[in-house]
Structures are given as structure tokens and as C-alpha cells.
Structure 1
């Protein structure tokens, strides 16, 4: 069933002639409901917008990907002189209605268009956008925000968020393992019947591809390291096509993969939206990355990627694991291939 929107008041402008699958997906109200229910997300944006506009009231604001119009209306309520709210999906009409119903039509101008096709009558003081996807870059909306910055932001303008970074840490993923794998061997879950045949398939599915899950803080077995970071005032599209980094972690217990999450910041106030396992859950959750090319000796009989305590001295004499992570954008799509390659770090030779 397609979303049917009826006009009310002054309609949104310049509707695109067609919607690609990504744009069309944002007509699903469930997507917007999950974002509105994410209190960490909404409170961070509301507080950051209010702080920026408190310091510089009367700003002209551009909201890239306004959706329901939430951030645009936050800006209007906080004292913006004008807000241009750009939305490429047909949610633009609903955003226009929401703006009208909140008495903000004189401040917020909803534009039904891709940001790349928009023509604004003036430069803006502030660009705000909730562009982040899973593991930060999923959906590749950052390209549109970069375009908006290069074409519409004043020289001394503000980006919100103003910086971002991706973090990675090795995890035991005990809860996920119990839920996704051990479930099939638990007679209480399988109504007293034996479903062991499913077990190896469950293992394969868990270790063969990334999963978007909530990882428990207690399952993080080593301090995280920064995989990638960017300054939103300087980042270019070329810099987000491919990300690769090698890191080394100390491992002294069972490891079933690597957990990835992100942070974004409003640097002038040191305000951070943190999606880590140690913080309240957000709709982004975390990404449990797949692990490939692991030495056979480090894979137990169930096929799970592990470094059990009993094999650590033999196969991890250094007690360290090399983690090479690569994110590469799939050509012509908004998706990324995510690869995590784990290998034991050889023990350092000591001169005799």
C-alpha cells in the first residue's frame, strides 16, 4: 500500500518526478516512528539546536532530510529566523502539514526535492541533518550533507553535527550467541524436541554476515579504538568511498567478533551523541561485524569465531589479535561491504 497524502494549506514545493527505492523507503511511517521513539537521538538534536541558536539567535537554517519536520520545527521553536526543510520523499507533504499545525508556516519552508536540485534564495548559517545510518555510513546520506555544505553554508556557518567517528571493539557477544545459536539446542525453547540440525546453520549465519543488534556492555572485552573520524567542515565524498584500518587488541577470553558503533558531536559545546553499548539503546543499536579469513586453528568445532582460553597460549602467544577492517561502498548503491579480518599477532622475537 502506498502512502497517500492530501494537501492542506500551502503545499510543499518542487516534488521530484520519481522516487528511487531508498527515497521511497522513507514513506514508511514505521521508519519515522522508530526515530521519534529514540529519545537519545531526539533529545540530543533538540538540545544541540537550542544551544547553537541560543548563542546566535535569528539564524537561517537548512534541514537536510527533514522527514516529519522534527528538527526543522526544533530550530523554529528555538529562535531561527528562517528554516528551509528539504525532503526528497513524499513525507514532505506531511512535514508541511505538521509545520502548519504547529503554527510555524511563516518560518519553516518545506521543499519537496533532493538537496542536489534545490535552489535557495540565500546562504544559511546552520545546516542540521540526521544523516547517520547503521555503523554511521550506511545509506550514504553524508554525500548530500557535504553537497549542502559546499553550496549553501555561509563561510562562518555551523554544521550540526560538526564531527563524527566510528569505533570498534572485540566482543564475546554472549547474549547474541545465546539468542541466535544456543536457542536451537535448548529443549525449553524447542518444545522438548531436538532441533540440533539447525545449530550449525545458525552458527554460519551468525559469523558470515554483519548483524544489527544490541550488544551488552559486559560483552565488550577490550577498550574500543577509533576506526575512522571526520570533520564535517572538511570531509569530501571521496573520503567516504572506502575506509580501511588495521588495529591490534589484547584478547584474553572468548571472542566472537567485532562490534562497531559511532559518535557524532557538536564541538562548540562538546555535546556527544554516543551509540555505544555502554549508553542507552538507540534505534541504530550496534553492528556486530562478520569475521573472515581467521586461522582454522582458531575456529572451534561449532564453527564460531573464537579464541578460547585453552588455546590462547598456543595460538595467541603474544596475547594480541590483529583486526583489519574495511568498509567499501558498493558502486551505484547506498550500501557498504563490511569486512573484518582477524589474525593472531606473532610473538615478538627476543634476541639471545
Structure 2
């Protein structure tokens, strides 16, 4: 039976009803997973293999029959490692049905069907006994239940249940132990992802609401490729601290706990951010360690393993504070069964207040529910703000009637400050309206911007007090957008509002250009690369499943990625390939663009990067992609505020700069707002 899931088309804003079947969900889950990245993580795989061989050997040395419980088996890889190492029987538990089926095929193809039993259940639903899925308790426990925050996939409840019901008291665990580390730092870059800073640009001064600065923020981890955050963009205020460890070979508790580390401040500054990552000890001696530490902690950074399934974490302290060099500080981490949070205390606070763990962060200002962390960074970008203010000054007059379209933006506030006669803003979200209202109140501009909860096509002249719009504003930014062309919703809004525009009304931005560049990724290619063999095992069934997902409808299109976290080399020059004129209506017929870009560098082309550049005026442009020229070697600098589109090629192209070119074909479909695309290699 078919079902339908509702939503709004991120371009047109029209209701979007997508056919939703089991097959659709399955393919989308596979297409967006990181299974290929994990299979390509040779550092992880080899260290798991070493830990498993050692654990099996320890049980064999006790004269016991080796029975393995593998929770979250995925492809069955770790169970096959255990069987190869000498395990007599492996119970491989996998709750995701398509993966469990793939594991069955992989296990069978590798000849382990008699030794490995696939159980398609959550481990907490597995039972032991004559009527259970397991005939006997295991004496080796193998798991891969971890995420960037270590415990975010429910590792602690799963371990707790396993030790109570599924494994023997003296079991061996792989990994044996996990250790969480943290470091207190000052960073204007990172703290700008959680705090709204004062605006002091082009003669305008705008203060943020105090409630935003005092708010502890959203309770969700900020996971990033910390290796791509330059060490020069933060200053360590303390040493790297060992916060806590979990011994997986012993009973584990999922109850909330707190752990503290006391240290002396290495330097003075603003305590703003905590950087965190973790290690896995694969054996009790700690001789086999799988580390999530960022590359700049290595003596040879280029030798650091890359992975996208486990990254590093940034935590924002509930409030910023000044610390002095040599001051004694206590950093505390708390965790429940799924998440971590941090707090900082000085000895003076400890003397005056009873010791208590920091409360779980909870947003009370609503801004952290309205603005994502990249959005905070975008609003705090002074250079970007200056361009918008300069563009506004060029189009506003004393009698301007402005209408802003977007989600939670500051442009309508700036328009009033510059001197527009009237300013209206369409804000469909109640929380957006509340946050902007508070910004206005804090800056003594109550009522200066009229916030309207009306869709563009429903707006009438009466809603504007009988006025017509002389300036239509947008960044564009819409919270539902992911891909670069989702900002074209502004164009649809402009078209819907055409009857309310004065003749000759200014449209800001005037238009946009879709840009592309063919690239060679340093590492990101791994998340879509086939892996027919892994550590000597045939995992081609996984490739077949991924390939099937790639043949599915959405997976053949571009996908969003924050490319500042994923270094790449440009193999062609960046170029605009399709232009959208916002001063005109959205056309009724498709727009197409075809051409080719000569290859200017040799390399392995993994795909095409795509982004929008918005033309605020004839001479002021804001890029949501490349923010600087490509270096001579092809290095690219990407905006941290927006995700770019990436079209991965089915197979990489080995390119030569002599006479070859990347051909492209784009078609904008106005009915759906989609941009269809195709690429190839053509002789020049």
C-alpha cells in the first residue's frame, strides 16, 4: 500500500506530496549513509581486526569455546573477522532490515553461514535460551555503536542490556575502552556559531538581545571536521584533559553522570568553547588505539586517518567568562544516555556555591531554535553584512516602502536604520517573528518593522496599508533550503508579489548565477566510492545495494555538503553556467544551458561543485560558494555559512589538461524549481 508524505517544495513553496513506499525509504537511507566511508576506513578496520584477534586468543587461552555477540554488525565485517580469528559462533545483530539482508548475503558469499547468525532486531530485544535468538551467552562482545559524540547512537543502554542479559560476566570486549578528551579554548570563529555579535558596519550599530548572549543554546552536538579548523583560529586556555573513560568489558550504566578535570589556565582569555574527541583502546593494554583526534594534534598531520562517520565535537559553554593565566579551573562534563554537555567553574565559584553539575543546556531565547550554527556565523560575518548594507544604501530613499522576504534575517532592520519610510517583513515562523521583535526592542525600534504572518501569494495592498512596494529585499535565506538553488524561492515570491510592486521597483538581489567547478576531492570521494573487498572479505553485496540506491530517483542528483570541511582541488576554472533574472517573472518554460570547461589541471575528477552567487546590485555580489580566487595549485576556499551542491560522478575521471574539457548540461524546471544536470568529458 502506498502512502504519501507532505511538505513544501523548497523552491516554489507549493505543497509537495512525495510518494512514500518501503522501497523509497530504504533507498534514501542507503544513499545518504556513510557505509562506504566506514568500509574505506582502513585505520578503523585494521585496529578492530587486531583487537578481535587478541580477544579471541585470550578466550581460547582459557580453554573456552569462543561465542561472539556483534551488536550493530552492519555489513557483518567484524563478525567475519571474529570467525576468521577462530570464533566458533557469532551472533551478528543488525536492526536495519536492508543492512541485515546485505549482511546475510555477504556472510554467505564469504562462506561463514554456519558460523555467523544474522539477527534482524535491536539488541535490547534479543533473548538467550532455547526459545531465544541466542542459544548461549557470549564471551566476546564486539560493537560499533559509536557516533561523533561517542554515545549518541545509544551505546550505553545497549551495553547495559548486553551485560545484564546477553554476555558472560568475564567477557572480552572489542573495543575494550573508550576515553573522552576535551580542551577549553577561546575562539571568535567558533563562538560566533552560537552567539549573535553586535553589528558595527558602514555606520550602523545594532546590539544583540541580551537574552541570546545569556542563553545556554541548543542541546545538540556541533560535529565538524575539526582538522579543517585552522589552529590559528582558536587559542587553547588549558591543556587537553582526560574527562572520563568507559570500560566496555564490565557492566555499563546508562544513568546520568558527571566527571571533572581540574587544571591551571595556560593563558588568559575568554573561555568560550570546548573542543572534544575520543579514543578507542581495542585491547586491555592500550597498545592498539583508534583515535578521533584532529590532524593538527599529529606530529605529521598528513598521516592522520580521515573519516566522516566519526568526527570531532564543538561544545559551547552556557556562558562566556574571563580567565587569567595561572588560574585554577575545573571543567565538568555531564552525560545522559545519549549526549554530553560541559560547564566551567573557578575556585572562587566553588567556594561560594555548592558543587553541582552544570544543567543540560536548553534554549530559552528561541534564537538557537531559529538560527542554525552556520546561520549564526553568517549573521556575524562583518564583510558580508557590509555588502548588504552598502547595497541597501544604493537602492533606498526616504520614501521607500520595503518588503523583506526570508527567514529570521536582519535586512528589514537595516532597511529601517538606513532610513526607509516603511518596512514590512514576511515571517512565516512565530519564533522568527519573536526573535526579530526582540532585536527591534533592544535597539529601541519597537514597531519599526511590521512583521507579517502571510504567504507572498496571499499578501494584499491592504496588508501594506494601501502602499505599493518600492524595494523588495531578500538575502535570500530560507530555513528549508539545502541545495544552492533552493534560494530561488525568492524568485517565486517576487513573481507572486508582482501586482504589489511599484513600476520600477528595486529588487535586491537583482539576480543570481549558478556556478560550477570540476574538482578532485582529497577525501570526500570515499563516502560514495565502491568497496568490493575490505580487509580480505568480499563485501560486493554492499556495493550492489549502494549502486541500486544510486540508480534511485533522488540519489542521481546533487547533494548538499559544507565544502569548507572537505578540501578539494579545482581541475577547471570556476564559471557561471546559468543566470536567473529576479527583475523578471519566473518563466513558464524551462531554461537550459550547455557548454564545456577546459581542464586546466591534471588529476582525478570525482565530481562537480555547485553554488550560487547573488547579485545584490550591478556591482555588489555575495557568494555562497567560493569566497576567494582558486590558488595556482587548485586549492579552493569555501564559505562556511552555506552548504554547496556536489554532483558525484559514478566513476572518477582520470583527467589530462591537454585538450580535454568537462561538458555540462543544466535545465531549470520552473514547475518544480528543480535544476537537472548532466556532465561528461569531451575533447576540446
TM-score of the pair, normalised by structure 1: 0.69
Shift of 1:320: 4.2
Q: Deviations over 1:39-69 (max 9, x none)?
A: 3322211121122234445622110111111
Shift in CA distance, 322/142, structure 1 to aligned 2, threshold 3 Å: closer
Is the contact made by 1:292 and 1:339 (CA closer than 8 Å) also made in structure 2?
Answer: no
Shift in CA distance, 291/47, structure 1 to aligned 2, threshold 3 Å: same
Matches within 5 A, 1:173-252: 208=217, 210-216=221-227, 218=231, 221=236, 222-238=238-254, 240-245=255-260, 247-252=262-267
Is the contact made by 1:85 and 1:108 (CA closer than 8 Å) also made in structure 2?
Answer: yes
| 1:294 pairs with 2:320 | yes
| 1:34 pairs with 2:42 | no
Which residue in 2 is equivalent to 1:65? 72
Q: Which has the larger radius of gyration?
A: 2
Matches within 5 A, 1:1-352: 4=23, 30-56=33-59, 59-90=66-97, 91-118=99-126, 119=132, 120-172=134-186, 208=217, 210-216=221-227, 218=231, 221=236, 222-238=238-254, 240-245=255-260, 247-252=262-267, 256-270=272-286, 271-277=288-294, 278=297, 280=304, 281-282=306-307, 283-295=309-321, 298=322, 316=324, 318-329=326-337, 335-336=338-339, 338-343=340-345, 346=348
Shift of 1:162: 2.0
Taking the aligned partners of 2:342 and 2:285, their CA distance within structure 1 comes to 34
Is the contact made by 2:256 and 2:334 (CA closer than 8 Å) also made in structure 1?
Answer: no
Taking the aligned partners of 1:28 and 1:127, their CA distance within structure 2 comes to 29
Taking the aligned partners of 1:130 and 1:138, their CA distance within structure 2 comes to 12
Is the contact made by 2:266 and 2:326 (CA closer than 8 Å) also made in structure 1?
Answer: no
Q: Deviations over 1:165-219 (max 9, x none)?
A: 21111235588679x79xxxxxxxxxxxx9x999x89x98xx9454112334945
The alignment partner of 2:223 has SS state of strand
Shift of 1:71: 0.8
Shift in CA distance, 65/244, structure 1 to aligned 2, threshold 3 Å: same
Shift of 1:244: 4.3
Is the contact made by 1:173 and 1:215 (CA closer than 8 Å) also made in structure 2?
Answer: no
Does 106-115 or 133-142 show the bigger shift? 133-142
The alignment partner of 1:294 has SS state of strand
Shift in CA distance, 319/66, structure 1 to aligned 2, threshold 3 Å: same
Taking the aligned partners of 2:312 and 2:66, their CA distance within structure 1 comes to 34
* Structure 2: segments with no counterpart, 5+ residues: 1-19, 127-131, 195-201, 299-303, 350-684
Shift of 1:109: 0.9
* Structure 1: segments with no counterpart, 5+ residues: 6-20, 182-193, 299-306, 308-315, 330-334, 348-352
Is the contact made by 1:165 and 1:264 (CA closer than 8 Å) also made in structure 2?
Answer: yes
Is the contact made by 2:142 and 2:173 (CA closer than 8 Å) also made in structure 1?
Answer: yes
Shift of 1:128: 0.3
Taking the aligned partners of 1:156 and 1:325, their CA distance within structure 2 comes to 30
Taking the aligned partners of 2:106 and 2:168, their CA distance within structure 1 comes to 28
RMSD across aligned C-alpha pairs, in angstroms? 4.0
The alignment partner of 2:87 has SS state of coil
The alignment partner of 2:113 has SS state of coil
Is the contact made by 1:46 and 1:74 (CA closer than 8 Å) also made in structure 2?
Answer: yes
Taking the aligned partners of 1:258 and 1:223, their CA distance within structure 2 comes to 11
TM-score of the pair, normalised by structure 2: 0.38
The alignment partner of 1:292 has SS state of strand
Taking the aligned partners of 2:235 and 2:242, their CA distance within structure 1 comes to 15
Q: Which 4+ residue blocks in structure 1 deviate beyond 6 angstroms? A: 23-26
Does 1 or 2 have the higher relative contact order (CA < 8 Å, sep 6+)? Answer: 1
